[in-house]
């Protein structure tokens, strides 16, 4: 048998899983605050721009978005299989294309900043 | 003579109801929907940021809506579930051997939690929440 | 010795006479300290000699007495009556075809085990006269846990992904391949990767973790499979993105 | 054709042994060598055959999947000289003395010489032996051994040996496995063994294995006794098959009791418990072995080789018996026990060296050896006797070889030393393979088709008859219970002429009644009722050989202790007993001299003083 290329998507999934485990909760808290009437400093246009203008900051944003997408995409594929959706190939195409488009978009916006 | 063994089919759509550990598993898997949704929100935010001050401020305005609150609470709950389920199994995926023994799993898991808490607090402080 | 009336509900199936399995109830007096296997033996001796199941060692090492006990994959020689209340439901291991009563067909596992080459592949031939390989206690420790598998297949009965996709090589076989991969004396990893890094290999595993929860020998197959995934991923990146480092 | 690098292959399967006449009666499977039993000995033989002569067709037939074989239960380890302070001579002397000089010394020589090779070979196949800090294999002390020479893999040595062999065997395409086939009869024609019949358990169909040589490696027969460390499969089938085919069973009266079994289940706590420093206490907390010729007391936690707790098994079990008579044992709900105290070893050492022991004591008995002494009592463990073989692992029946616990090459004599058996499986498993190869080379003749077909037909007919029986009242479980209680009562640690005579009579009666045993289950697929009935028949035959040999041996030696003949009698009994099958009659007992090359019978001294 041949080795599978799933290693590629799994690698992204695993990296994404780790990143999201560490950062998603705190990011969610940040973006939740406005709904409670609190606007943290970082969410003001000027400070976020300043953060994103630093190369490292910009890379961090893109990395978090991209890896979150791949993590979610791959796990969604498995989850759909677990829920009885057996069209694995079609599912894979849809979720990975979505993740790829999202990743490209993230890169594009980051460049456009 | 052929005497056929009996094959029990696994119920395709409901198997995960059969055992609590499967329910725990499927819940963990479902977190991806929320992680994905939040990734999409971040993507939109990034777009708004790129579009300029007004677009961004409208975005932040939208974050203040009740719908946003509901969304965020749900995402937070599943994200936390994802975090714990991810950290708790790290020693399995990445055992660390020191000489004749392995670093106890609790230590590896504990280190993850410690880093996570410090990191989250740092983000909150730098973000100007406190 | 305190006795107790134990009620067992056992799945019966005889391919020659039954279209499908049915449950049969037995009530027997058993000493409190007995295991479920003792109760079955007692039933077979005194009530129903037609009941069929596998067992031999009665010490959790031969791996033959796996059954579903109250829905949980268990070694019946290590399932104590004192841990159960009410009627105890005994079924053959899930995900395997039923040959007869509690006896399952395990050909699938046996073929898969062979496929993953679970034996030492030496780098260079070593004559016996050269004496033993040196292997420090630390090197032994690296893989020791994965040698403890008794091939009881409880993990297969617990793994839903195996139930859903029977082609999956499954937890025990992959753990045994991993065991040899980690052995300092072995040089056969690449050959084993052809099987275990294939789609039907480790990639069917979605890390449910049930395998490790039920494993009576604490082999932790779930851990082994994740480690195989990580290593296979590193391999993939090395082979595809860094062709100059491919070895 | 000849693909073997190191061996000519005239034995290859160019020969055509298809046998149309047999095939008309039974589905027939052909092989060059058929091996009955896939435990340690059977697997080792199969691998040796496959390596020596890759073109051979090897049929490996077993009533359980190989990894279920009872070799997996062995805990302590396998003896082989490896360390600098040891010598083959020491191993030889320990073994011969441990066996009370009933060992054939040429066979012991072969064993001790080949042992290190075999154990290293196993290491090369991946066996996870425990190690010294410098990476060399570790050895531990064992009962009756003067030096530390027992290789071990924690306390799952047999398990690791079996799985290493099984997994190694998977790489040889020429080993064809027939798992869950129950062998019922040897096929003998023209004074040669030609194969055997076996029931395919999943279909219930009988098949005929025709082979040019047969190796029996079917393990022991401890299940004749009610309280044993042996698994359910150890019912002496291979012994009975050979015996019925005219091969004598040798030294069957020597049944080993292991001193330390859990009192309720019989589960073994390995001798390594004592090797690592555990001690045996009586009710008064006294290390009572010193009162029975194994003293003086050694320092606590420092096991001293060949004395006190590291005395040989027969002596330790006998000391228990005597001290029990004096009322010094601890009464428990499962009968009198002594206490195995390991507390002073500490949790760390126990977890590292004896994890299985701790686990089993806790789960089956509810006693944690780290905090409490464990009640234990002697339990039937091992058959020193078995199918008569010579030093080449050949039986007197041409074409039939035997190895492992089912065989008696006579390295164990009157009492096996712990950890010699696993070594024996390897050494003589391989030896049986080599001898079978030589036999193939020398005698290619095929059997007489008509006779073979008749034999196969008879086996089939016997099975049909058993199936067809109805209306009788004898049950498998009932007869089995009578068998085991008889054995326990009269063929235990101490025996008497009176008791043995009674046992012989009872067994003759049981064998007669067995002829009317009736099956409840008349279906084909995985019929365990049928299999247990066949196993019972084997146990009855073996048991009769045990009691008849024991009755005839009017002396006390090793594991055979007579209350009416308390001394060893070299003048009359420095001989192997041979029980020969005589159908419905009791076996005839014959004798053969022991092979003595250089160690004349001496005194077994296990007092620590001489050293
Ligand atoms: C609890 C325990 C601990 C022990 N510890 C040690 C130790 O530490 N050191 C040591 O040296 N020895 C030890 N021994 C002894 C040693 O383990 C055994 O003597 C040895 O394993 C026997 O191996 P074997 O290959 O002869 O037979 P087994 O491993 O018993 O295999 C017998 C094979 O024959 C097959 N078979 C039997 N009957 C039939 C039939 N009718 N048809 C088809 N197949 C059949 C079975 O399926 C099986 O495959 C221990 C024994 C026990 C019980
Ligand atoms: S990994 Fe554990 S559960 Fe699975 S077969 Fe091996 S011992 Fe049994
Ligand atoms: S339960 Fe199954 S999915 Fe993987 S972690 Fe274990 S093999
Ligand atoms: S009987 Fe051997 S594992 Fe249970």
Rounded-to-5 percentages of helix, strand, coil across chain D:
40, 20, 40
Question: Among this protein's residues, is D416 annotated catalytic?
Answer: no
| E strand segments, D476-595 | 494-495, 561-562, 575-582, 585-593
Distance (Å, whole) CA B118 – CA D257: 62
Task: Give every CB contact of residue D470 below 8 A, 6+ residues apart in sequence.
Answer: D518
The tokens describing B7, both together, are 């094959």
State the average pLDDT over residues D80-92.
Answer: 96
Distance between start and end Cα atoms, chain A: 47
Among C53, C64, C90, residue to substitute to test ligand 4 (most atoms within 8 Å of Cβ): C64
Ligand 2 lined by C175 (C-beta under 6 Å):
yes
HSE, side-chain direction, 13 A CA sphere, residue D481: 7
Statement: residue D13 has pLDDT above 60 = no
The verdict on residue D288 lying in a domain is: yes
Which chains pack against A, by 3+ Cβ pairs within 8 A? B, C
Measured in angstroms, how far is the CA atom of residue C162 from the centroid of ligand 3? 8
- Please report the pLDDT score of residue D6 as a whole number: 41
Domain end residue (candidates: D346, D381, D416): D381
Mutating to test ligand 1, I would choose from D233, D235, D268, D459 the residue with most ligand atoms within 8 A of its C-beta, which is: D233
Asked if B127 is an interface residue toward chain A (Cβ–Cβ < 8 A), one would say: yes
pLDDT of residue D24: 81
Residues contacting residue D349 through CB under 8 Å, at least 6 positions apart? D276
Those residues of chain C whose CB sits closer than 8 Å to some CB in chain B are 13, 15-16, 20-21, 71, 94-95, 97-99, 104-105, 137-138, 141-142, 160, 163-164, 206-210, 212-213, 220, 222-223, 226-227, 229-230
DSSP β-bridge partners for residue C80: C35
% of chain D beyond a pLDDT of 90: 86
Count the helices and strands in chain D (H runs, E runs).
16, 22
Rg (CA), chain D: 23
Does residue D412 share a domain with residue D513? yes
Same-domain check for residues D135 and D190? yes
- Is the C-beta atom of D532 inside 6 A of ligand 1? no
Ligand nearest to the CA of C216: 2
Q: What is the mean pLDDT of residues D556-565?
A: 96
Q: How far is the CA of C215 from the centre of ligand 2 (A)?
A: 5
Best CA proximity match to D527, nearest among C151, C52, C57? C52
C contact chains, 3+ CB pairs < 8 A = A, B, D
What band does A2 get if pLDDT is binned at 50, 70 and 90?
confident
Give me the pLDDT at residue D405, please.
Answer: 98
Q: Are D360 and D418 in contact (CB under 8 A)?
A: no
Contact D413, D32 (CB under 8 A): no
Contacts for D59 with CB less than 8 Å, ≥ 6 apart: D29, D31, D33, D34, D35, D176, D178, D209, D211
Q: Which helix (H) or strand (E) is D197 found in, with range?
A: strand D192-200
Distance CA D331, CA D324 (A): 10
Q: Which residue, among D506, D513, D509, has the nearest Cα to D475 in the 3D structure? A: D513
D215 plus D119 within the same structural domain = yes
> Can you give the three-state secondary structure of D312-325, one letter per residue?
CHHHHHHHHHHHHH
* Residue D536 clears pLDDT 90, i.e. is over it: yes
- This prediction's pTM: 0.95
CA distance D565 to D553: 9
Token pair of D125 as six digits: 């196949």
Q: Given D329, D352, D381, which residue is the final one in a domain?
A: D381
| Domain that includes residue D496, residue range | 17-254+384-611
For residue D9, being part of any structural domain is answered with: no
What six digits make up the tokens of D42? 């059977």
pLDDT of residue D302: 85
Angstrom distances, CA of residue D454 to CA of B66, D217, D447: 90, 26, 12
- D524 in contact with B, Cβ within 8 Å: yes
- Write the class of the CATH domain B11-93: mainly alpha
How crowded is residue C2: how many other Cβ atoms within 10 Å of its Cβ?
8
Cβ of D229 below 6 Å from ligand 1: yes
* Co-location of D402 and D525 in the same domain: yes
Q: Is the CB of D67 under 6 A from ligand 1?
A: no
pLDDT bucket at D15, cuts 50 / 70 / 90: low
Task: For residue C192, report the distance from its CA to the centre of ligand 1, in Å.
Answer: 31
Q: How far apart are CA B9 and CA B5, in angstroms?
A: 13
Q: By CA distance, what is B99's nearest residue in D?
A: D133
B4, B95, B99 ranked by CB distance to C15: nearest = B4
Considering the domain architecture, whether residues D179 and D246 belong to the same structural domain is answered as yes
Whether residue D549 is found in the same domain as residue D417: yes
pLDDT tens digit sequence for C106-149 = 999 999 999 999 999 998 889 999 999 999 999 999 999 999 99
Q: Which tops the pLDDT comparison, D296 or B40?
A: B40
Token reading at B15 = 């198997």
Has residue D355 been placed in a domain? yes
CA distance A13 to chain C (A): 11
Residue D15 phi, psi (nearest 5): -65, 140
- Structural domains of chain C, with CATH: 3-104 (3.10.20.30), 107-245 (1.10.1060.10)
Report the residue count for chain D.
611
Rama region for D60: left / alpha / beta (φ>0; ψ in -120 to 50; rest): beta
Residue D606: which pLDDT band, with cuts at 50, 70 and 90?
Answer: confident
DSSP state of D464: H
- Domain identity same for D233 and D345: no
User: Which residue matches tokens 């023994």?
Assistant: B101
- The string of pLDDT tens digits covering residues C58-80 is 999 999 999 999 999 999 999 99
- Return the pLDDT at D10: 41
Residues of chain B with Cβ-Cβ distance to C99 below 8 Å are: 5
Q: In whole angstroms, give the CA distance from residue A17 to residue A68.
A: 7
Distance between CA atoms of residues D218 and D402, nearest Å? 9
Contact D282, D330 (CB under 8 A): yes
* Dist. CA D78–CA D130, nearest whole Å: 12
Which CATH number characterizes residue D196's domain? 3.50.50.60
In total, chain B counts a number of residues equal to 130
- Do A52 and A61 contact (CB within 8 A), yes or no? yes
Q: What is the distance, to the nearest Å, from the Cα of residue D572 to the centroid of all Cα atoms in its chain? A: 27
Q: Which atom of ligand 1 is nearest to the CA of D535?
A: 41
Q: Which of D258, D315, D480, D562 is catalytic?
A: D258
CB D76 within 8 A of CB D272: yes
Confidence (pLDDT) at B2: 56
Judgement on whether residues D451 and D503 belong to the same structural domain of the protein? yes
In a domain, D10, yes or no: no
Which residues lie below 8 Å from residue D543, measured CB to CB, with a gap of 6+? D224, D483, D486, D487, D491, D507
Residue D4 has pLDDT above 50, yes or no: no
List, for residues D371-410, the tens digit of each pLDDT value: 999 999 999 999 999 999 999 999 999 999 999 999 999 9
Q: Look over chain A and give the mean of its residue pLDDT values, rounded to a whole number.
A: 96
Query: Using alpha carbons only, what angle is made at residue C37 by residues C35 and C39, rounded to the nearest 5 degrees?
Result: 80
Q: What is the pLDDT of residues D332-379, one digit of tens each?
A: 999 999 999 999 999 999 998 899 899 999 999 999 999 999 999 999
Among D364, D381, D398, the domain-final residue is: D381
C151 contacts in chain D (CB < 8 Å):
65, 67
Q: Which residue out of D274, D490, D495, D576 is catalytically annotated?
A: D274
Tokens of C212: 């490790």
Nearest to B64 among A20, A35, A79 (CB): A35
Are D77 and D157 spatial neighbours (Cβ–Cβ below 8 Å)? yes
Are the beta carbons of C198 and C177 closer than 8 angstroms? no
Whether residue D2 is predicted with pLDDT greater than 70 in this model: the reply is: no
Average pLDDT, chain D: 93
- Would you give per-residue pLDDT tens digits along chain B (130 residues)? 457 999 999 999 999 999 999 999 999 999 999 999 999 999 999 999 999 999 999 999 999 999 999 999 999 999 999 999 999 999 999 999 998 899 999 999 999 999 999 999 999 999 988 8
Atom of ligand 2 minimally distant from the CA of C153 = 5
Token pair, residue C63, equals 């791996």
D520-546 mean pLDDT: 97
How many Å separate Cα D232 from the centre of its chain?
13
CB D287 within 8 A of CB D338: no
* Residue D196: burial class (beta carbons within 10 Å; 0-12, 13-18, 19+): buried
pLDDT at D134: 96
Residue D486 has pLDDT above 80, yes or no: yes
Q: Provide the number of structural domains found in chain D.
A: 2
Which tokens sit at A70?
């791949």
Q: Kindly report the CATH number assigned to the domain that includes residue D286.
A: 3.90.700.10
* D16, pLDDT greater than 80: no
What is the C-alpha to C-alpha distance for residues D149 and A69, in angstroms, rounded to an integer?
60
Report if residue D566 sits inside a domain.
yes
Report yes or no on D278 lying in a domain: yes
How far is it, in rounded angstroms, from Cα D176 to Cα D181? 13
SS3 labels along D525-544:
CCCHHHHHHHHHHHHHHHHH
Span A6-112 CATH architecture? Up-down Bundle (1.20)
**In D326-417, which ranges are continuous DSSP H helix?**
346-353, 355-360
Quote the CA–CA distance of D15 and C39 in Å, as a whole number.
Answer: 51
Residues D307 and D236 in one domain: no
Any bridge partners for residue D146, and if so which? none
Residue A34 has pLDDT above 80, yes or no: yes
Distance from CA of A86 to the nearest CA of C (A): 10
Q: How many residues does chain A have?
A: 113
List, edge to edge, every strand of the sheet that includes D407-408.
D407-408, D386-388, D249-250, D575-582, D585-593
Best mutation site among C34, C41, C54, C56 for ligand 4, i.e. most ligand atoms within 8 A of its Cβ? C56
The alpha carbon torsion through D108, D109, D111, D112 (nearest 10 deg) reads 110
Q: Where are the domains of chain B?
A: 11-93, 94-130
Residues C9-68 pLDDT 10s: 999 999 999 999 999 999 999 998 899 999 999 999 999 999 999 999 999 999 999 999
In a domain, residue D6? The reply is no
Residue C158 alpha carbon, nearest atom of ligand 3: 1
Residues D466 and D538 in one domain: yes
Q: pLDDT class for D451, splitting at 50, 70, 90?
A: confident
Residue D274 annotated among the catalytic residues of the structure: yes
Q: List residues bridging with C69 in a β-sheet.
A: C72, C90
Residues D179 and D314 in one domain: no
Residue D235 burial (10 A CB sphere; 0-12, 13-18, 19+): buried
- Say whether both D245 and D271 belong to one domain: no
Tokens of D514: 């067995």
Is there a contact between C94 and B101 if contact means CB atoms under 8 Å apart? no
Q: Is the predicted ipTM greater than 0.90, yes or no?
A: yes
The three-class DSSP label of residue D262 is coil
Contact C99 D136 (CB under 8 A): no
């Amino acid at each position: 048998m041949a080795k599978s290329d799933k290693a590629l998507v799994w690698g992204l999934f695993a990296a994404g899983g780790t990143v999201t485990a560490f950062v998603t909760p705190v990011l969610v808290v940040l973006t939740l605050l406005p709904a409670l009437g609190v606007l943290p400093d970082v969410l003001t246009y000027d400070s976020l721009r300043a953060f994103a203008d630093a190369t490292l900051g910009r890379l961090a944003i893109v990395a978090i978005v991209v890896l979150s997408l791949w993590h979610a995409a791959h796990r969604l594929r498995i989850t759909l299989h677990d829920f009885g959706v057996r069209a694995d190939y079609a599912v894979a195409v849809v979720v990975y294309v979505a993740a790829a488009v999202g990743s490209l978009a993230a890169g594009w916006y980051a460049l456009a900043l | 003579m052929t005497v056929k063994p009996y094959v029990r089919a696994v119920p395709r759509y409901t198997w995960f109801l059969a055992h609590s550990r499967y329910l725990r598993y499927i819940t963990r898997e479902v977190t991806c929907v929320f992680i994905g949704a939040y990734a999409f929100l971040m993507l939109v935010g990034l777009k708004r940021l790129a579009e300029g001050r007004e677009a961004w401020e409208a975005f932040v305005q939208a974050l203040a809506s009740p719908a946003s609150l509901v969304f965020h609470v749900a995402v937070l709950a599943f994200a936390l579930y994802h975090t714990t389920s991810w950290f708790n199994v790290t020693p399995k995926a990445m055992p660390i051997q020191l000489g004749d023994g392995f670093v106890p799993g609790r230590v590896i898991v504990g280190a993850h939690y410690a880093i996570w808490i410090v990191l989250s607090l740092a983000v909150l402080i730098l973000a100007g929440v406190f | 010795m305190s006795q107790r009336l134990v009620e067992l509900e056992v799945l019966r199936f005889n391919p020659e006479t039954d279209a499908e399995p049915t449950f049969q109830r037995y009530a027997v007096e058993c000493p409190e300290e007995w295991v479920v296997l003792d109760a079955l033996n007692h039933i077979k001796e005194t009530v129903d000699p037609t009941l069929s199941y596998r067992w031999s060692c009665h010490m959790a090492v031969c791996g033959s007495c796996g059954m579903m006990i109250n829905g949980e994959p268990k070694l019946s020689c290590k399932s104590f009556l004192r841990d159960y209340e009410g009627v105890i439901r005994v079924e053959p291991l899930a995900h395997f075809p039923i040959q007869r009563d509690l006896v399952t067909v395990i050909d699938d596992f046996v073929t898969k085990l062979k496929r993953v080459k679970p034996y030492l592949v030496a780098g260079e031939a070593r004559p016996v006269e050269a004496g033993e390989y040196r292997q420090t206690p630390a090197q032994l420790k690296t893989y020791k846990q994965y040698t403890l598998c008794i091939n009881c297949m409880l993990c297969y009965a617990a793994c839903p992904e195996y139930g859903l996709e029977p082609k999956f090589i499954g937890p025990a076989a992959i753990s045994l391949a991993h065991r040899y991969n980690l052995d300092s004396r072995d040089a056969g990893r690449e050959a084993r990767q052809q099987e275990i890094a294939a789609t039907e290999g480790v990639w069917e595993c979605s890390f449910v973790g049930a395998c490790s929860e039920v494993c009576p020998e604490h082999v932790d197959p779930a851990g082994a499979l994740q480690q195989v995934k990580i290593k296979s991923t590193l391999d993939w990146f090395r082979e595809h993105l860094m062709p100059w480092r491919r070895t | 054709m000849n693909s073997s690098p190191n061996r000519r292959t005239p034995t290859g399967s160019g020969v055509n042994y298809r046998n149309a006449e047999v095939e008309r009666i039974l589905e027939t499977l052909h092989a060059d060598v058929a091996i009955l039993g896939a435990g340690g000995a059977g697997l080792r033989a199969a691998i040796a055959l496959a390596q020596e002569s890759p073109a051979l067709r090897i049929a490996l037939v077993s009533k359980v999947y190989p990894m279920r074989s009872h070799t997996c239960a062995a805990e302590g380890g396998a003896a082989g000289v490896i360390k600098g302070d040891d010598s083959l001579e020491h191993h030889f002397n320990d073994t011969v003395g441990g066996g009370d000089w009933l060992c054939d010394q040429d066979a012991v020589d072969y064993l001790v010489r080949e042992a290190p090779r075999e154990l290293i070979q196993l290491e090369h196949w991946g066996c996870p032996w425990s190690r010294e800090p410098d990476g060399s294999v570790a050895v531990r002390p064992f009962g009756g051994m003067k030096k530390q020479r027992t290789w071990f893999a924690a306390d799952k040595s047999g398990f690791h040996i079996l799985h290493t062999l099984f997994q190694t065997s998977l790489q040889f395409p020429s080993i064809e496995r027939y798992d869950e086939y129950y062998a019922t009869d040897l096929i003998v024609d023209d004074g040669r063994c030609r194969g055997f019949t076996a029931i395919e358990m999943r279909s219930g169909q009988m098949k005929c294995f025709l082979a040019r040589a047969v190796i029996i490696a079917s393990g022991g027969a401890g299940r004749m006794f009610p309280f044993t460390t042996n698994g359910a499969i150890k019912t002496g089938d291979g012994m009975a098959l050979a015996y019925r085919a005219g091969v004598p069973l040798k030294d069957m009266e020597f049944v080993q009791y292991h001193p330390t079994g859990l009192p309720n289940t019989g589960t073994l706590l390995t001798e390594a418990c004592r090797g690592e420093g555990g001690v045996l206490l009586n009710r008064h907390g006294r290390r009572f072995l010193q009162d029975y010729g194994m003293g003086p007391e050694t320092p606590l936690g420092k096991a001293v080789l060949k004395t006190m707790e590291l005395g040989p098994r027969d002596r330790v079990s006998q000391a228990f018996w005597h001290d029990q008579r004096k009322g010094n044992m601890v009464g428990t709900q499962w009968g009198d026990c002594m206490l195995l105290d390991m507390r002073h070893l500490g949790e760390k050492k126990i977890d590292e060296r004896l994890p299985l022991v701790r686990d089993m004591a806790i789960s089956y008995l509810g006693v944690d050896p780290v905090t409490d002494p464990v009640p234990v009592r002697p339990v039937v463990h091992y058959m020193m006797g078995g199918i008569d073989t010579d030093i080449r692992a050949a039986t007197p029946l041409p074409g039939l070889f035997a190895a492992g616990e089912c065989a008696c090459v006579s390295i164990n004599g009157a009492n096996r030393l712990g950890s010699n058996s696993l070594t024996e499986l390897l050494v003589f498993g391989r030896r049986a393979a080599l001898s079978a190869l030589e036999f193939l080379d020398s005698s290619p003749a095929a059997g007489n088709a008509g006779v073979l077909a008749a034999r196969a037909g008879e086996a089939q007919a016997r099975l049909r008859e058993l199936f067809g029986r109805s209306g009788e009242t004898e049950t498998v479980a009932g007869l089995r219970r009578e068998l085991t209680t008889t054995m326990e009562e009269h063929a235990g640690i101490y025996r008497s002429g009176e008791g043995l005579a009674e046992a012989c009579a009872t067994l003759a009666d049981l064998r007669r009644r067995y002829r009317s045993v009736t099956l409840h289950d008349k279906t084909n697929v995985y019929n365990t009722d049928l299999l247990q009935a066949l196993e019972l028949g084997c146990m009855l035959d073996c048991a009769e050989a045990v009691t008849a040999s024991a009755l005839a041996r009017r002396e006390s030696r090793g594991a055979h202790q007579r209350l009416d003949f308390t001394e060893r009698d070299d003048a009359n009994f420095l001989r192997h007993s041979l029980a020969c099958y005589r159908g419905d009659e009791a076996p005839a007992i014959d004798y053969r001299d022991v092979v003595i090359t250089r160690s004349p019978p001496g005194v077994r001294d296990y007092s620590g003083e001489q050293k």
